[in-house]
Amino acid sequence: MRGFLQPHRIGLIAAALALCVYAAVTMRWDWIPRYAGLGLEGLWRTLWLLALSILIGFAMAVPLGLAQAAGPRIVAVPAKWFCTIIRGTPLLLQIWLIYFGLGSLFPQFPSIRQSELWPYLRQAWPYALLALSMSYAGYEGEVMRGAFKSVPHGQLESARAYGLSRWAVFRRIWLPQALARALPTLGGETVLQLKATPLVATITVIEIYSVASRVRQDTFIIYEPLLLLALVYMAIAGLIGLGFRWLEKRYTPGLG
Amino acid sequence: MLDWLYQLWPGLETSVTLLSLEPPGWGGNLLRGAVNSIIIALGAFILGCVIGIGGAMGKLSGGPITRDLLAVYTTVVRAVPELILILLLYYAGTDLLNQMLRAFGYRPIEISGLVAGIGVLGIVQGAYATEVLRGAIQAVPKGQIEAARAYGMTPFQTFRRVTFPAMLPLALPGLSNLWLIATKDTALLAIVGFSELTLETRQAAGSTRAYFTFFLAAGALYLLMTLVSGRLFGWIETRFRRHQVGARA
């Protein structure tokens, strides 16, 4: 704390506080109570879209990375192409392709229209979740490829020599070490995924960003909602960073 | 010539007509959008590199206040979604510029989407470039820089003759990544209504209802851009690294 509070820092903090006070006094914040409920709902939707897409995307990324690192050509090549295509095209385009493309394709099949899934497929969020998960899978597949390759081969061989089955080697030695090695990169990628979530507002998913746009359209207040939104995203990004730092502290020591 | 293909794949003929370069095809619009995207990406990348060099020098050899302000800049830009930064900077930038013009007695102007796009994406790129270049400069052996100073070179000469050429090969992988991000970030300008590739595609797809055709075509164009520039950067990297002993090609 002593190192942080140097004289010039105190001045800078005072200037930042003064700026905050100035913003609080001169700018318009009277819209907040009216939109607070909607904002919280949007925040909740952003968070679970983020969490679910990371879970699904990561579940896809592990086989994608494994296929590229150690698989035979017949799985390695398609996995590599999947990652290249996802990483080579803008996420916004992928979201629109999935939403408008699949969304216009599905209603043409009566079997889909009459299925149990149809009430969900008529909403926008399944398409958003699919697009976000695939994007995360594509980027993390590449990360996991490097992580799987970086685990020393001798460890895997000695585990096999001890009589562990292939699955046990993967579960107890290969995957945990690859995960620990990938953790710092995954933290950064998760923040990138958070920054990608407002794109789903363009396909009518009401998350926190689209609430702010709505405030802008309703009240013609431009800066205040955007500034508040920036603060919210910074807070979430900070929490993600803290979480990953804790994970790293717990799991990276003891890497061979 | 393609008749046998059309018979094999009935939807292909309509797709080809939709994508043809002259109206009623939309291929010309798509290509124009792609050119716009490339121009913006190039401009933003160059601006970002310039900001990055300044930022990296400031972070490494600036005073405490400069360093703290630069830290705030890179942290904020890397934590806030690009979309929000684009909106904020777009509105705030035009506002500020017009206020300044008014203060000096000029009439307010409408900023073109191209300039605004380059400016906004350049500021975003600058934050990432600052970190990439800072890492690269720090990796240059200190002895080389001290030797240059001992020869009596001015700080600028040292930078131009020693630090810059020595750090470039180290910075290239990060910079090539940034270039790929720049090409993809241009798609975000579709949301503020600038007619680059993604928005042109959406308009074409919306008015013809051929969503898959157009989005896949645009995807192919983006992929072409990334693959070609990946090759290009790979070639540049081997060129700049050939003098390094034991460097991986």
User: What value does the mean pLDDT take over residues B165-170?
Assistant: 88
Inter-CA distances, A209 with A29, A193, B175, Å = 17, 14, 30
Find chain B residues with C-beta within 8 A of A196's C-beta: 81
pLDDT of A30 reads: 85
The pTM assigned to this predicted structure is 0.88
| Per-residue pLDDT reduced to its tens digit, A165-191 | 999 999 999 999 999 989 989 999 999
Distance from the Cα of A178 to chain B's closest Cα (Å) equals: 23
| Per-residue pLDDT reduced to its tens digit, A26-35 | 888 888 888 8
User: What value does the mean pLDDT take over residues B216-241?
Assistant: 90
User: What value does the mean pLDDT take over residues A58-78?
Assistant: 93
Indicate whether B21 pLDDT > 80.
no
pLDDT of B10 reads: 67
pLDDT of B248 reads: 47
Q: In the structure, what pLDDT confidence band is assigned to residue B2 with cuts at 50, 70 and 90? A: low
Indicate whether B245 pLDDT > 70.
no
Q: At how many degrees (to 10) do helices A73-88 and A32-70 cross?
A: 150
Nearest-CA neighbor of A82 among A69, A102, A65? A65
Round to whole Å and give the CA distance between B137 and B91: 35
Find chain B residues with C-beta within 8 A of A17's C-beta: none
CB of A191 within 8 Å of a chain B CB? The answer is yes
In the structure encoding, which two tokens stand for residue A148, read together? Answer: 């799987």
Q: Which residues contact A39 (CB under 8 A, 6 or more apart)?
A: A32, A208, A211
ipTM: 0.84
CA atoms within 13 A on the CB side of A39: 15
Contact B79 A234 (CB under 8 A): yes
Residues 10-69 of chain B with CB under 8 A from chain A are 64-65, 68-69
Find chain B residues with C-beta within 8 A of A202's C-beta: 191
Rounded to the nearest 10 degrees, how much is the dihedral formed by the CA atoms of B53, B59, B62, B63?
160
Round to whole Å and give the CA distance between B160 and A254: 43
Round to whole Å and give the CA distance between A163 and A179: 23
Nearest-CA neighbor of B56 among B40, B70, B41? B70
Q: In the structure, what pLDDT confidence band is assigned to residue A145 with cuts at 50, 70 and 90? A: very high
Give the Cα-Cα-Cα angle B97, B99, B101 (nearest 5 degrees).
Answer: 70
User: What value does the mean pLDDT take over residues B73-84?
Assistant: 91
User: What value does the mean pLDDT take over residues B103-111?
Assistant: 78
